[in-house]
Amino acid sequence: MVAAMGRELIISKKANAFILSLPESQRKKIKEAVTRLLAGDFEGLDIKKLQPHPHDFRLRVGGVRILFASEPERLFIFKAGFRGDIYK
């Protein structure tokens, strides 16, 4: 759990374990993208709403997909994985 810019970041254990298993260069790109999400800077980020869930989104960082729920007070990353495996 991390509080930044007034929003709390919560990452599930499985998502965190996947992110930590990635090479440093990919982790750095994911950290930059998530930091921008927390700050509300969405320009240039590849984000899509997940259907039919109104508060769930997908962030694409290269071949990695980050699934998260966004609320005004928190950002919850509930799943992370490679493109082919994440939606199963």
Distance CA 56, CA 62 (A): 19
Closest CA to 59 of 50, 51, 67: 67
Percent of the chain with pLDDT over 70: 91
Q: Is the pLDDT of residue 38 over 60?
A: yes
Indicate the pTM of the whole model: 0.88
DSSP, collapsed to helix, strand or coil, labels residue 19 as helix
Q: List the beta strands (DSSP E) in 13-53.
A: 46-49
The pLDDT value recorded for residue 5 is: 55
Q: What is the CATH number of domain 2-82?
A: 3.30.2310.20
What's the pLDDT band for 14 if we cut at 50, 70, 90?
very high
> pLDDT for 40-64, tens place per residue?
888 999 999 998 888 899 999 999 9
